[in-house]
Amino acid sequence: MPSLPTVAQYVVTFLKPEMLHVYRQIVAMRAVRPVVICQKRENEDRFPFADVRILPKPRSHQLRRLWQKSIRKRPITIYRSEARRILGELRSIEARVLHVYFGHIGVHLLPLLELCATEGGPPAIVSFHGADAQVDLESPVHSAAMQRVFSLASRLLVRSESLAERLTTHGAPVEKIRLHRTGIPLGEITFHSRSAPPDGAWRCLQACRLIEKKGIATSLRAFAEFSRRWPHATFTIAGEGSQLEPLRALADELLIGSKVFFPGFVYQPQLRALEAEAHLFLHPSELGSDGNQEGVPNAMLEAMASGLPVLATRHGGIPEAVVDSESGFLVAERDHFTLAERMLSLAADPALYATMAAAAAGRVAEEFELASQTARLEEIYREVL
């Protein structure tokens, strides 16, 4: 039986907790042999994988950062010597394709992409997930570097059609772009039939990094309005990030501090439990001041798969997952008044609530199921083999 073609999976850190979707994708592959190449490995107990090659940063990386980013005001890229070392590793594992995760890492690896193109290395695929398709691209020097990535990559993968549009706006060749959605393992997520709580103790949930683009301030303001009608309602915001203290302060200012809970980052078993207990899932994403924009939020997809109706915004790739008034409600960014109105209307209509919960799970099964999306990725690999 012929051996499977090797596809190198370049992830700078294998693997940060919030990158579970990358791990799921890699371990689900069956038609190729994935080999991970990274600079460092973390959380090995949570993300076990046998074939990982660690090529650490050079000891001079802090000096490089100072020189390239602070003094020359350009993106940080690896040294030519590092590129040759990685190319040597690619040849030693007989990699047929190099898959680079995240667009800004494609820029970081530009010397490697150039070597692959000129010295017979494997063709490169670069995948874009969200912020990596926008942040810093208004800067001419960053934009020029990304144009070079577009030129050297054989394929450019995007998680949503909105990301594809952004890449083409920045000059990516349309013929290189392929839609590859986040894969959700439906077998690991239990669908829960839900009904309105008889005591009015609605449990609202949001799970995300506590950063600007997640729209958590909008969620808090909408929940404050919602809780005036349903005083026993609570709101759990699972995640960690730089906005924790400002969000706590906002909750207190809105007089809902006793009803809002911040458990920090939660692992999958805890998240599944929170989803099972919740009645409404909020995710009113918004464009960040730095241009940061969502693809399709993974936590939102998992909530939908569990049967949670979603209340979100017309932002990024969210409308590609949530069909307004069918599998959830969508409002304009930062519009907490309308968000609260949609929450209240859903709470007041048991039939709509049940229908929307089932439609949310069906939408994920139709468009984001892990096995079908993995097969799609392997098909893209075959295109460039």
Q: Supply the CATH number for residue 179's domain.
A: 3.40.50.2000
Residue at 134 is within a domain: yes
**Same domain, yes or no, for 195 and 296?**
yes
Q: How many domains does the chain have?
A: 2
Which residues of the chain, if any, have pLDDT below 70?
1-2, 67, 72, 131-138
Q: Are residues 363 and 223 in the same domain?
A: yes
Looking at the domain assignment, is residue 61 inside a domain?
yes
Is residue 112 in some structural domain?
yes
Please enumerate, as own/partner, the contacts of 290-293 that have beta carbons within 8 Å and a separation of 24 or more.
290/135, 290/212, 291/131, 291/134, 291/135, 291/136, 291/137, 291/138, 292/130, 292/131, 292/134, 292/135, 292/211, 292/212, 292/213, 293/130, 293/131, 293/133, 293/134, 293/162, 293/166, 293/213
Residue 136 pLDDT = 61
Is 90 part of a structural domain of the chain?
yes
Q: Is residue 257 part of a domain?
A: yes
Q: Are residues 312 and 203 in the same domain?
A: yes
Look up residue 299 and give its two tokens. Answer: 């936590």
Same domain, 38 and 162: yes
Residue 1 belongs to a domain: no
Same structural domain, 249 and 112: no
Residue 269 carries which side chain, given as an amino acid letter?
Answer: P
**Which residue range is the domain that position 260 belongs to?**
187-367
- For residues 137 and 205, membership in a common domain is answered with no
Q: What sections of the chain are H helices per DSSP?
A: 20-27, 61-65, 80-92, 103-108, 110-118, 140-152, 161-169, 216-229, 244-253, 268-277, 298-305, 336-347, 350-367, 370-384
* 220 found inside a domain: yes
Do the Cβ atoms of 64 and 76 come closer than 8 Å? yes
| 214, 103: one domain | no
Cα 337 to its chain centre, rounded Å, is 27
Please indicate, yes or no, whether residues 100 and 45 belong to a single structural domain of this protein.
Answer: yes
Regarding whether 172 and 199 lie in a shared domain, the answer is: no
Question: What pLDDT, on the 0 to 100 scale, is given for residue 60?
Answer: 78
Assess if residue 129 is contained within a domain. Answer: yes
Asked if 243 and 142 sit in the same domain, the reply is no
What's the pLDDT at 73? Answer: 72
3-state helix, strand, coil in the chain (%, to 5): 45, 15, 35
The pTM (predicted TM-score) of the whole model is 0.91
> Residue 216 is encoded by which pair of tokens?
């958590």
> Are 308 and 323 found together in one domain?
yes
Do 270 and 337 have their domain in common?
A: yes
